[in-house]
Amino acid sequence: MTKLSVNINKIATLRNARGGDFPNLLQFARDIELFGANGITVHPRPDERHIKYSDVYELSQTVKTEFNIEGNPNKKFIDLVLNVKPTQVTLVPDAEDAITSNKGWDTKNNLDFLKDIISEFKIKGIRTSVFIDPLTEMVEYAKLTGANRVELYTENYASVFLKDKTNAISSYILAAKKANELSIGVNAGHDLNLENLKFFNQNIPELLEVSIGHALITESLYHGLKETIKMYVDRLN
């Protein structure tokens, strides 16, 4: 079974829009786990416009399933991860002013940089994942960084899916097969939703985990959070 990790950034965005503590992020994390998700993902950014660094520390004491922290590995982020010791850290090459993640790492040109950071996390027993575009070369160099997994950036798949799903997924299949050959785990995320997830899951070999936030929270406005998580879990089975 492919695991579902729910990104709760959008819950924090809603809370921050009015200040205070409503909706309560910790309660949402507990409920998401109770409703069947296999993990919680957060992506703190330097401006803390949604997830705050203090949230991450509080969630680390609350999350009972897998806890995944995503972000660009600047010093503040690295210190956060080393202190919290989550189940997994996912390294994403976000610019500070990025609205959302918009590209994967060039693992070839950033090989030494990533290798040094990943070695720090692995010493602490933290599983590491590198966010990449679906290119076999990027998978090969991700393996050389020492990462445990890659996370395939799926925006292009999602944008092409309705027009030509076979073409949309072809590069992802090749990248996943290369990862399988190199014994590096495969995660995926970005713009996956109830419409395109099942096809992706059925065609990507040995897909371990998907991280989904924006679509899942949006769809829960229509279906309710509990039912939406159930629908996602069903598509992953």
What is the Cα Rg of the chain in Å?
Answer: 17
Q: Cis ω on the peptide bond leading into residue 86 (within 30° of 0)? A: no
Q: How many residues does the chain have?
A: 237
What the block records as the tokens of 26 is: 């910790």
Catalytic residues: 43, 70, 190
Q: Which residues contact 101 (CB under 8 A, 6 or more apart)?
A: 43, 70, 92, 94, 131, 153, 190
- Whole-angstrom distance, CA of residue 198 vs CA of residue 201: 5
Please provide the distance, in angstroms rounded to a whole number, between the alpha carbons at the two ends of the chain. 6
Query: Which of 151, 75, 89 is closest to 124 using CA atoms?
Result: 89
85's torsion region: left (phi>0), alpha (psi -120 to 50) or beta? Answer: left
Q: What are phi and psi of 66, to 5 degrees?
A: -75, 140
Query: What are 71's two structure tokens?
Result: 């972000």
